[in-house]
């Protein structure tokens, strides 16, 4: 046998160079690992962490649901319900005037939300309805004044006496305001948007019918 001077005489060259492989255990040790106290503790810790995570997630979901419900209730109490109640009051005021079928509705802008002027917080916008009435201005004013006063609104002001149109202000005992404005429709049709009216157009009879009518209702003030 060939021997190497650097290797023990009891080993041949092949045995010295090739490492020995550790033999496999003669039985399955996984049951022993499973019963190991350290492994059992780690599994319990993992299970507890998962349980805490699930409980925390559920708790957060409950909190978010309660917050959402509270926000919804707050919105109902501070916006939707008051706005609906205000609009109902305004609709009731218009209904109480008993305008009649001889007045043709042209435009309606009725709302419940309190709309404050952008440049003056002491003033609010009014709900408004516009009509035409096949009668002269003075006849229309007299008819509508009687209807408004019959609805328990008291006349208290005419801000532009002698003008080419008539405007009257009324107030109820509840602090609600009604503004009535009546003008001549033929005259309005000619002069509205007319930047260079003739003398004859300016001199048109401001009492001639049919009449344009605007009735405004305000629950807050008469500063419009």
Q: What are phi and psi of 204, to 5 degrees?
A: -60, 145
Alpha helices by DSSP H, listed for the chain, are 13-17, 30-34, 37-75, 81-96, 137-150, 185-191, 199-202
pLDDT tens sequence across 131-144: 999 999 999 999 99
Q: Taking 80 as the threshold, does the pLDDT of residue 147 lie above it? A: yes
pLDDT tens sequence across 180-205: 999 999 999 999 999 999 999 999 99
pLDDT score of 30:
57
Number of H helices, E strands in the chain: 7, 8
The listed range with the strongest mean pLDDT (55-69, 71-85, 190-204, 210-224) is 190-204
Give the bridge partners for 103, in sequence order: 133
Distance CA 93, CA 19 (A): 106
pLDDT tens sequence across 92-117: 999 999 999 999 999 999 999 999 98
How far are the Cα atoms of 54, 59, 69, 76, 85 from residue 65, in angstroms, in the given order? 17, 10, 6, 17, 28
Tokens 């003030």 sit at which residue? 221
Distance CA 217, CA 75 (A): 25
Can you read off the two tokens belonging to residue 90?
């305004």
């Amino acid at each position: 046998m060939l021997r190497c001077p650097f290797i023990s005489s009891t080993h041949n060259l092949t045995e010295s160079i090739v490492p020995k492989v550790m033999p496999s255990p003669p039985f399955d040790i996984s049951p022993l690992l499973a019963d190991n106290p350290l492994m059992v503790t780690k599994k319990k810790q993992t299970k507890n962490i998962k349980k805490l995570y699930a409980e925390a997630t559920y708790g957060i979901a409950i909190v978010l649901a309660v917050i959402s419900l509270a926000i919804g209730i707050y919105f109902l109490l501070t916006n939707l319900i008051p706005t609906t109640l205000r609009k109902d009051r305004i609709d009731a005021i218009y209904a109480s005037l008993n305008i009649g079928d001889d007045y043709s509705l042209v435009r309606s802008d009725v709302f419940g939300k309190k709309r404050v002027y952008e440049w003056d917080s002491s003033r609010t916008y009014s709900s408004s309805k516009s009509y035409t009435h096949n009668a002269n201005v003075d006849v229309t004013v007299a008819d509508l004044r009687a209807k408004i006063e019959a609805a328990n609104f008291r006349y208290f002001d005419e801000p532009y006496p002698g003008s080419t149109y008539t405007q009257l202000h009324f107030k109820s005992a509840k602090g609600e305001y009604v503004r009535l404005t009546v003008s001549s429709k033929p005259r309005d049709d000619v002069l509205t948007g007319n930047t260079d009216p003739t003398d004859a157009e300016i001199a048109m009879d401001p009492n001639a019918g049919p009449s344009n009518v605007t009735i405004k209702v305000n629950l807050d003030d008469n500063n419009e």
